[in-house]
A and B are shown apart, each in its own frame.
Chain A
Amino acid sequence: MEEFAKLLEALVYTSSRNRKLTLIARYLRETPDPDRGWAMAALTGEIDFPAVKANTFRNLMKERVDPVLWSLSRDFVGDTAETASLLWPDNPAVETNAPSLAEVVDTLSALTRKSAPAELPKLLNRLEENERFALIKFATGGMRIGVSARLAKTAFSQAFDVPVEEVEEYWHALDAPYAELFAWAADGGDPPDVMGRPMFRPFMLAHPLEDVAIDKGVDLAEYAAEWKWDGIRVQLVRVAGETRLYSRSGDDISATFPELLDVLSIDAVVDGELMVRGDVQGGETGSDKQGGAASFNALQQRLGRKTVSKKMLAEAPAFVRLYDVLLLEGADLREQTWEQRRAALEAFMPRLPDSHFDLSNLVEARDFAHLAEIREGTREDAIEGLMLKRRDAPYIAGRKVGLWYKWKRDPLLIDCVLMYAQRGSGKRSSFYSDYTFGCWDGDPDSGAELLPVGKAYSGFTDAELKKLDKLVRQTTLNRFGPVREVERTLVFEVAFDSVHTSKRHKSGLAMRFPRIHRIRWDKPVHEADRIESLRSLIRD
């Protein structure tokens, strides 16, 4: 625990990626099993102790600290684990002797919701401040210390000089504390045996296509164009009769979409877009085989659920629109070109039930101008833009330059007025960085009011953030905890992907992925848009 706490502390104060890699790699080489495996599980977000949640610690603190003082502290610090670790009373009567991570895992795993409030204080009392911080982060997951799962795996590969792609592949087939993985990488043992396990293969990803790239001669003839569907990217894996569904980050989401688990009757690994049925998206590109998909809004109702009701299965059934095939009946196709894999996928389609699968169609275009015209011609909700895939490229995990491009359609824009600002968390905990904005419910010159329509916390530079923070502090009308209501003085040009009816806002509207496009320091607020302009953009 001591060494892990020191590692976290060092990582917090290191911004250089290379320094972070060095720190983690050194820790992994110097720390014995199974502690280093548990540390990796924590850094990659694969730890879950059902009886211990952020709320467990919050409740512990509220028994020891006045709730108002707790909230004020938490708002300022921006992180529950850190606030709790700072506020937990140092007990000079108790000799601090930090347990090993393995011991912590044993203790935490044995906890129940009932026993946790009595047992956790005993653990915390044995620790110093930075160890308490590490313990709470470890116990609740979600480290938020600027280390991604990918970075941790890269550090692992550097520590033991093994290829990161192999680490990624084995990773998802193994469980913490990854004894087989360390035996292979650190101690020169046999590679983990993962064949015959329905494991996740890292996705091939795309770079955004900038206009520059078009000018600089990306040759359309070498690429196939395909719609970029607006669902969630998934990988469906079937090995030896067992089927699993993985999300983009490699999370197992099989339980959320049970209808997809018994429809693949052949051992295969396929890559596609998961969507739900609906009539918003009727027969795109003129093919009557391209069935209808509902908007992302409909899909969202089904995400993140651990169990699914029969009603939900009937009303919003999921299907997968296939992009690619990675493995098929024991053969690994990833070394083959996109064209070969596409042919294999097309040949494979008739063996799949129409009810749960269809094929993502290709888009034919003469040149970029034509393609741009097609891209702009569509405003359907189920399309996010276009993909360009190099015809002779193999399926390579990660983002490799020049192979795949995504070309999102231009966002919708609307002028809104800043109404409320909230302090951010993490790095932004001292900045008012989350902005709620509104549109007029009528003519602002004849007494119309602003109604909130959305909230955004991205799309501006650090310098702009400073300026916005200053404005918020100077024009505050009211304070509600971490939220400030401000004078209506500033117009944001807000970009968003789509807008839907919603009961959450008083305006009855909710935007999808709103972000600040431009800050209109120059624009008078009465020239901002009206609710009805936004409503006219609904496609539900």
Chain B
Amino acid sequence: MSAPFSWIRPEPWGIHIVPADCWVDPGRAVDKALVTHGHADHARGGHGETYATPETLAIMALRYRTGAADDAGEIPHKAMPVEYGETVRLSGGVDATYIPAGHVLGSAQVLLEHAGERVIITGDYKRRADPTCKPFEVTPCDIFITEATFGLPVFTHPPIEDEMAKLLQALTDHPDQCVLVGAYALGKAQRVIAELRAAGHTQPIYLHGAMEKMCRLYEEHGVNLGELRLVADAEKNDMRGHIIIAPPSAMNTTWSRRLPDPITAMASGWMRVRQRARQRGVELPLVISDHADWNELTRTIEEVDPTETWITHGREEALLRWCELGQRKARALALVGREDEDE
């Protein structure tokens, strides 16, 4: 009998499940990959068999459309859909179950079971209600491998209703301008739109072209986003008094010159820190994140109550310290290539 948990091995570019020769969210192309969700730092193209939820596979198909000349050598993967709650048997006696993570559409935690030992890899997650995806489910396990993007006690995300009210107030205060909201194209953008609709905002919302397909995909999966228009099709003056959503990378480019006097807003957990917002030239910070904040991270560890916590990426030092103070066994994994939200 081998040492406990020797079958799961964190490497810099992903977590290796040794008996199944399978990788979770690998940063390089492998034969067999388990993918937690569709963000580019977790889901890359070019794998052989790719196990993921049908939603995540649909997102990946959108992002890694293959066959085109400019595809940079992406090889079409073999899609292996796994529904939430479904268990697949991998080789070497490893079972993998996909559990909702509440991060974005299709996002999952992966529960791995082998030789009576249970390991959960969360991918990215949050604990707050999100109209665009299924909520995180607390599942008992021995080793809990968690993210820690916002793993510092200064990060407490306020209720999203407050942030929506701030956004709508800015619109009311400046009817001759528009509010340009920087939001990640997968997940954040759709969540902001859905929350605006929930707050009673029925006006059309204008989109940067890079958001269009993803928004349509969300709608196909039953998320109602109301009337959406493309900035490219709009007259400048028609956008006065309206909300425009663009990926953060487009905000300070020449693209934004077609907008009527935009007030620059950004929807990100980093907006909690003033200097971060200033750095980005943000005038209206909206503290909205699809990652767990400090209280959600610590609460989740308490609720899952694993024998050991491994921390994949983010501000791991502080979460390690918190574990130490609570006499919880923990270690940090140095995974490469994981990006901070919106950076």
Residues of A bordering B, CB below 8 Å? 12-15, 65-66, 68-69, 72-73, 76-79, 82-83, 86-87, 133, 146, 426-427, 429-430
Question: What number of residue pairs across chains A and B have CB atoms under 8 A from each other?
Answer: 65
- Rounded to whole angstroms, the CA-CA distance of A73 and B325 in the bound complex is 16
5 intermolecular pairs with C-beta atoms under 8 Å apart: A14-B283, A65-B153, A66-B321, A69-B321, A72-B315
Query: What chain A residues lie within 8 Å of B278 (beta carbons)?
Result: 12-13, 15, 146, 427
In B262-285, which residues have CB < 8 Å from any A CB? 272-279, 281-285
Contact of A427 with B154 at beta-carbon distance under 8 Å, contacts A13-B284, A72-B318 already known: no
Tell me if B275 and A79 are in contact (CB < 8 A): yes
Tell me if B275 and A69 are in contact (CB < 8 A): no
Contact of A426 with B275 at beta-carbon distance under 8 Å, contacts A69-B153, A76-B315 already known: yes
CB of B7 within 8 A of chain A?
no
Tell me if A69 and B322 are in contact (CB < 8 A): yes
Tell me if A78 and B275 are in contact (CB < 8 A): yes
- Rounded to whole angstroms, the CA-CA distance of A66 and B318 in the bound complex is 10
Tell me if A83 and B285 are in contact (CB < 8 A): no
Query: What chain B residues lie within 8 Å of A427 (beta carbons)?
Result: 275, 278-279
CB of B152 within 8 A of chain A?
yes
Query: What chain A residues lie within 8 Å of B315 (beta carbons)?
Result: 72, 76
Chain A proximity mask over B102-126: 1 for CB below 8 Å, otherwise 0: 0000000000000000000000000
Tell me if A72 and B275 are in contact (CB < 8 A): no
CB of B83 within 8 A of chain A?
no
Query: What chain B residues lie within 8 Å of A78 (beta carbons)?
Result: 275
Interface of A is mostly: helix
Complex partner residue of B153 from A15, A87, A429, CB under 8 angstroms: A87
- Rounded to whole angstroms, the CA-CA distance of A69 and B277 in the bound complex is 22
Query: What chain B residues lie within 8 Å of A73 (beta carbons)?
Result: 152-154, 318
Tell me if A66 and B325 are in contact (CB < 8 A): yes
Query: What chain A residues lie within 8 Å of B282 (beta carbons)?
Result: 13
Contact of A87 with B154 at beta-carbon distance under 8 Å, contacts A78-B275, A429-B275 already known: yes
Q: Determine which residue in B156, B272, B274, B279 has the highest number of CB atoms from chain A within 10 A of its CB, and name it.
A: B274
- Rounded to whole angstroms, the CA-CA distance of A86 and B153 in the bound complex is 8
CB of B74 within 8 A of chain A?
no
Of all chain A residues, the one with the shortest Cβ separation from B340 is A430
Tell me if A68 and B321 are in contact (CB < 8 A): yes
Least Cβ–Cβ distance between B334 and chain A, in angstroms? 11
Query: What chain B residues lie within 8 Å of A430 (beta carbons)?
Result: 275-276, 279
CB of B95 within 8 A of chain A?
no
CB of B317 within 8 A of chain A?
yes
Of all chain A residues, the one with the shortest Cβ separation from B154 is A86
Q: Determine which residue in A86, A133, A146 has the highest number of CB atoms from chain B within 10 A of its CB, and name it.
A: A86
Query: What chain A residues lie within 8 Å of B274 (beta carbons)?
Result: 12-13, 79, 82, 133
- Rounded to whole angstroms, the CA-CA distance of A86 and B322 in the bound complex is 18
Least Cβ–Cβ distance between B120 and chain A, in angstroms? 25
Tell me if A77 and B318 are in contact (CB < 8 A): no
Least Cβ–Cβ distance between A317 and chain B, in angstroms? 44
Query: What chain B residues lie within 8 Å of A66 (beta carbons)?
Result: 321-322, 325
- Rounded to whole angstroms, the CA-CA distance of A311 and B285 in the bound complex is 55
Least Cβ–Cβ distance between A426 and chain B, in angstroms? 6
Query: What chain A residues lie within 8 Å of B277 (beta carbons)?
Result: 12-13
Tell me if A72 and B283 are in contact (CB < 8 A): no
Query: What chain B residues lie within 8 Å of A13 (beta carbons)?
Result: 274, 277-278, 282-285
Least Cβ–Cβ distance between A474 and chain B, in angstroms? 10
- Rounded to whole angstroms, the CA-CA distance of A427 and B285 in the bound complex is 15
Query: What chain B residues lie within 8 Å of A12 (beta carbons)?
Result: 274, 277-278
Tell me if A76 and B152 are in contact (CB < 8 A): yes
- Rounded to whole angstroms, the CA-CA distance of A426 and B276 in the bound complex is 9
Tell me if B272 and A86 are in contact (CB < 8 A): yes
Tell me if A77 and B273 are in contact (CB < 8 A): yes
- 17 new A-B pairs (CB below 8 Å) besides A66-B321, A69-B321, A79-B274? A12-B277, A13-B283, A15-B278, A68-B318, A68-B321, A72-B152, A72-B318, A76-B273, A79-B275, A82-B275, A83-B154, A87-B153, A146-B278, A426-B275, A430-B275, A430-B276, A430-B279
Least Cβ–Cβ distance between B264 and chain A, in angstroms? 9
Of all chain B residues, the one with the shortest Cβ separation from A481 is B317
Least Cβ–Cβ distance between A40 and chain B, in angstroms? 22
In the complex, the 6 A-B pairs of residues with the closest C-beta atoms, listed nearest first: A86-B154, A72-B318, A73-B154, A68-B321, A429-B275, A13-B283
